[in-house]
Amino acid sequence: MKTSRRQFIKTSSLYAGGLAMAGSGLKAASGLLKNLGGNVEGLSRTPTYCEICFWQCAGWVYKDDDGRIQKIIGNDDDPHCNGRLCPRGTGGVGMYHDEDRLKTPLIRRTVDGKQVFEEATWEEALDFIAEKMKSVAAEFGPECVVLFSHGSGGAHLGHMLKAFGSQSISAPSFAQCRGPREVAFLTTYGDIVYSPERTDIRDSRCLVFIGYHLGENMHNGQVQEMSDAIDKGATIITVDPRYSVAASKSKYWLPIKPATDLALLLSWIHVLIENGWYDKEYVEKYTFGFEQLREHVKQYTPEWAYGITTIDPNVIRRTAKEMYDASPAVIVHPGRHTTWYGDDTQRLRAVAILNAILGSWGRRGGFYFPERVQFPEYPTPAYPVPNRLPTEAYAGKYNLANEVVSNGICDATIPSVDSDCNFKVWLVNGTNLMLALPDQKKTLQAIQALELVVVIDTMPVEITGYADVVLPECTFLERYDMVRVSRHREPTLALRMPATEPKYHSKPGDWIARELGIRLGLAAYFPWKDMEEHLDWQLKQVGSSLEEMKRIGVKKFPRQYDDLYLHEGEDFFFNTNTGKIELYSTDMEEEGFPPLPVYTEHEQPPEGFYRLNYGRAPMHTFGRTANNPNLTDLMDENTLWVNPKVANLWGLENDQYIKLRNQDGIVSTFSIKVRITERIRWDSVYMVHGFGHDNKKLSRAHGRGINDTELITNVKIDPVMGGTGMRSNFVTFVFENDNAGEEVEA
Amino acid sequence: MRYAMAVDTKKCVGCSDCVVACQTENNVPIGYCRDWIVEVTDGTYPQLEIEIRSERCNHCENAPCVRCCPTGASHYSDGGTVLVKKYHCIGCGACIASCPYDARFPHPEGYVDKCTFCLDNRVKKGMDPACVSVCPTKCLYFGDLDDPRSPVSQILKKRKYKTLIPEAGTKPHLYFLI
């Protein structure tokens, strides 16, 4: 076996002893935490906002008299959740109680030729990291230190890193997820969709979902509003090769052939324009390039689209009419996870254009103008100007990307003659890069080239196995974080405060960043006494205080700028080159991309293979909840959805476990349970992402189901913004007895 | 007073929030549940329908579990709610066998457990049951059938509904809006 510098450590760590496992000596002011706020149910409560997903719903943590966390309930004043958390938020208690949590800092050591994790004190671990960061920065510059982050810890660590002199900060939530939609809307409207999305679903009369499985993806506020829209009789149109839950709530389900969505979108635009079913006044007043668009889409007739999408031309016309009849209270939803085929920005541009000609942007029931509080930073010295920016990692490419491209950073970490932009240190916080980034081989190559890998997380997720140092972060229930400054219909702030002291030897993100910062000689950047003082200062600048926020959890502020919607005939300047909504994109043209979306054909599965589609389950967030005791109780493995025709062909049976092999010969590590269902097309299979964990320390998640990421090796890069298109992978079935058969023959 | 619940199958997305909220509210041990999700798919691709139901004890007016309980542990309580006195329950399981809805389970502490409509811990204090108050799609309606203004009476007046296994003659108090 080839030995690598950084072997994956999966066995139990070498216990150094001398460290008490439970009850760290650090008592947070637990007495202080009791009896704050209302005592509604004989339980004390403290405010928080959820960290189980990016929606960050505000809620109350209830504890019994023994100080044990009982439940988490949504805050009624919070526009993200309206007092109703989703199953993950309600099950957030499991994140705290999970006995598999990272408990103490670990340092990779070689003992008797074997790489193991040794328990360390925080002093040792932080000193080790700081020394290494300093020596690497002295040789290569501070910019060679990268932070990958998803979640609240990123604000603290990002501040520390910027103070250190590096802006190399990236999150997979851009190039593996939202990126194409943000760039498409930015080039069209000069503004992005944001999170939570600015979609006015509750007042919409027609909702169009393109492969967007709202209800299975539990984006709380939007799911709630979809339900309101159903109550009010809104028409729902769902385009999906799978009969999703959203499809089952729809008046029209368009069971499209996978990878052909753009043909349908262009055809819809064609139908709307040819029939005059568009908002003429709005298009005249606010848009740029309508005539070019009209010319361009002449070719995209419903009959043309039929041959590609398999959607009946009459259904294309009828659904287009439904959209027009509802306009401007119509939302062609931009979706969220949009990195599919590599021409995703162009597909989302078509979505943006559809909305524009229907006049839904800035209209009730369409897209509103969200607003947030101007919330000041605690004063610290200016950050040093870095010698180079992370975008140099992919210089000359992805110029329209408005955030850092994570896979660009990953690629540039691999030593190459083409690039001198070598990154040497990865700090990884709250994102399991092994499951988040496709093409695992590349991620591993990058990791092997690094001088230092530090993982800061609550759980022993796979990426911890490649770390040199593992730092146990405490959960959101045990810490302060930055105030949640929410952009919504009404601006709000939300407070997260500790409901209890950190379990084991875990520490809050702000403490980790600060302690590391002090060791790096950056104490001047951390002038506050503690987080309470930090937050109180910020809150007082906007007329609130920590004391008030502890009582109310969420504070609403009046809107200060424009209204939610455009006024009749209002002059409006869009932040684009032309000051208008660019149906014809001058940005795209300047960058050498088609200024109007063009249909391109994508690969279809070869004989005997099926397109691997993946999605979400409402009770899980990616892989990060796969070990949560409350949530695994609801769903503890993913299943492989197979159409009965396909099952028949292969002799598959329900509940049978099989492995999968992809087009590149990669075989899944684990097996997956077959679910034979009419809800999936015969040319594709489906599974929920985030399962198939191979770290044995995740006792409930290990070996349960298949990890789709390991089968995603055919990655289609979006040339516009660097997104990783992940839906051009094809799998076939591998039966356990295949190997047994070979052995018998041998 | 007759407590009842209605479940809007047209809005329920099957997220299971009702299940977790019940577990954390009522200290239901992990691995057990008092409410659950049923998803029924009908038809062949692409002519399909799904019905999603959040199910629990039907709090029947004519409850076989109460009739068959040898100790009187299973009983009717306020508003017709069917409850189990855990200290009277000997865990014989007769009620589990008699329930057509499979709504009861043996609690690891030796008694039979099931949905209580959160009667003592919430409803009597003026709150909705935990599942109702958490549901993100607001697809659960609760209240007194004898009160025409209660959410459940209101919605049953407006919408088409059904009950499960009506032929069992249990007169269930769990309604499904269709």
Gyration radius from chain A CA atoms: 26
How many Å apart are CA B69 and CA B65, to the nearest integer? 6
CA distances from A554 to A240, A368, A717, B136 (A): 37, 22, 40, 19
Residue A203, helix vs strand vs coil: helix
Q: Which of A418-422, A440-444, A643-647 has the highest mean predicted lDDT (pLDDT)?
A: A643-647
* A401, two tokens: 């990307």
CA distance B171 to chain A (A): 28
* Contact of A642 with A207, CB cutoff 8 Å: no
How many Å apart are CA B59 and CA B65, to the nearest integer? 10
Nearest Cα residue to A510 out of A473, A470, A540, A485: A473
Model pLDDT, residue A271: 98
Model pLDDT, residue A418: 75
In a domain, B146, yes or no: yes
In a domain, B91, yes or no: no
Testing the interface with B: which of A634, A642, A654, A680 to mutate, by most B Cβ within 10 A? A634
Kindly identify which residue of chain B lies nearest to residue A74, measuring between CA atoms: B134
Kindly identify which residue of chain B lies nearest to residue A253, measuring between CA atoms: B46
| Contacts with B53 (C-beta within 8 Å, 6 or more apart), sequence order | B7, B9, B12, B37, B38, B39, B40, B176
How many Å apart are CA A279 and CA A244, to the nearest integer? 31
Testing the interface with A: which of B26, B45, B118 to mutate, by most A Cβ within 10 A? B45
- Residues in chain B closer than 8 A to A630 (CB atoms): 20, 23-24, 30
Helices (H), A165-260: 172-173, 179-189, 220-231, 245-248
Model pLDDT, residue A4: 65
Could you write out the DSSP letters of every residue in A5-59?
Answer: SS----SPPBP---S-SSS-S----HHHHTT-S--TTSSEEEEEE--SSTT--EE
Cβ contact B30–A243 (<8 Å): no
Could you write out the DSSP letters of every residue in chain B?
Answer: --EEEEEETTT-----HHHHHHHHHHTPPTT--SSEEEEEEEEETTEEEEEEEEE-----TT-HHHHH-SSS-EEE-GGG-EEE-TTT-----HHHHH-TT---EE-TTSSEE---TTTTTTGGGTPPPHHHHH-TT--EEEEETT-TTSHHHHHHHHS-EE-S-GGG----SEEEE-
Nearest Cα residue to A222 out of A327, A84, A357: A84
Q: What percent of chain A has pLDDT over 90?
A: 90
Residue A516 host element (H or E)? helix A509-519
Nearest Cα residue to A188 out of A510, A589, A489: A589
- Residues in chain A closer than 8 A to B20 (CB atoms): 87, 90-91, 619, 630-631, 634
* A577, two tokens: 């080159």
Nearest Cα residue to A288 out of A570, A582, A606, A717: A582
Count CB-CB contacts under 10 A for residue A254: 24
Cβ contact B50–A245 (<8 Å): yes
pLDDT tops 70 at residue A13: no
Residue A451, helix vs strand vs coil: coil
User: In sequence order, what are the beta bridge partners of A119?
Assistant: A106
How many Å apart are CA B169 and CA B19, to the nearest integer? 27
Nearest Cα residue to A267 out of A350, A210, A359, A335: A350
Domains A194-370+567-590 and A610-745 share a fold: no
Model pLDDT, residue A27: 35
Residue A507, helix vs strand vs coil: strand
Residue pLDDT, tens place only, A584-598? 999 999 999 999 999
Q: What percent of chain A has pLDDT over 70?
A: 93
User: How long, in residues, is chain A?
Assistant: 746
Residue pLDDT, tens place only, A182-239? 999 999 999 999 999 999 999 999 999 999 999 999 999 999 999 999 999 999 999 9
Q: Beta strand B105-106 with B112-113: parallel, antiparallel or unpaired?
A: antiparallel
Low-confidence ranges of chain B (pLDDT < 50): none
Instruction: Name residue, tokens 């992809």.
Output: A662
pLDDT level of residue A21 (50, 70, 90 thresholds): very low
Model pLDDT, residue A416: 84
pLDDT tops 60 at residue A39: no
Model pLDDT, residue A649: 97
Q: Which CATH class is domain A610-745?
A: mainly beta
* Contact of B65 with B82, CB cutoff 8 Å: yes
Helices (H), A368-439: 406-413, 433-436
* Contact of A412 with A421, CB cutoff 8 Å: yes
Facing residue for A84 by CB, picked from B14, B52, B136: B136
CB contact burial A211-237 (16+ within 10 A = b; e otherwise): bbbbbbbbbbbbbbbbbbbbeeebbbb
pLDDT level of residue A742 (50, 70, 90 thresholds): very low
Q: Give the CATH number of the domain where residue B142 resides.
A: 3.30.70.20
pLDDT level of residue A319 (50, 70, 90 thresholds): very high
How many Å apart are CA A382 and CA A385, to the nearest integer? 9
Residue A572, helix vs strand vs coil: coil
Dihedral (CA of A53, A702, A24, A63) sign: positive
How many Å apart are CA A336 and CA A4, to the nearest integer? 37
* A154, two tokens: 């990123």
Model pLDDT, residue A744: 37
In a domain, B93, yes or no: no
| Contacts with B91 (C-beta within 8 Å, 6 or more apart), sequence order | B106, B110, B111, B112
How many Å apart are CA A400 and CA A552, to the nearest integer? 41
CA distance B135 to chain A (A): 6
pLDDT level of residue A19 (50, 70, 90 thresholds): very low
Residue A675, helix vs strand vs coil: strand
Model pLDDT, residue A65: 86
Residue pLDDT, tens place only, A681-708? 999 999 999 999 999 999 999 999 999 9
pLDDT, averaged across chain A:
93
User: In sequence order, what are the beta bridge partners of B51?
Assistant: B40
Provide the domain limits for residue B139. 3-62+116-177
In a domain, B68, yes or no: no
Residue A246, helix vs strand vs coil: helix
- Residues in chain B closer than 8 A to A635 (CB atoms): 16
Instruction: Name residue, tokens 């989302």.
Output: A348
- Residues in chain B closer than 8 A to A70 (CB atoms): 24, 27
Q: A194-370+567-590 falls under which CATH superfamily?
A: Dimethylsulfoxide Reductase, domain 2 (3.40.228.10)
Cβ contact A230–B11 (<8 Å): yes
User: How long, in residues, is chain B?
Assistant: 178
Cβ contact B41–A678 (<8 Å): yes
* A293, two tokens: 């668009």
Q: How many domains does chain B have?
A: 1
- What average pLDDT does this structure show over A506-533? 98
Gyration radius from chain B CA atoms: 16
User: What are the sequence ranges of the domains in chain A?
Assistant: 194-370+567-590, 610-745
Residue A532, helix vs strand vs coil: helix
- Residues in chain B closer than 8 A to A86 (CB atoms): 15, 17, 136
pLDDT level of residue A737 (50, 70, 90 thresholds): low
Model pLDDT, residue B4: 98
In a domain, B83, yes or no: no
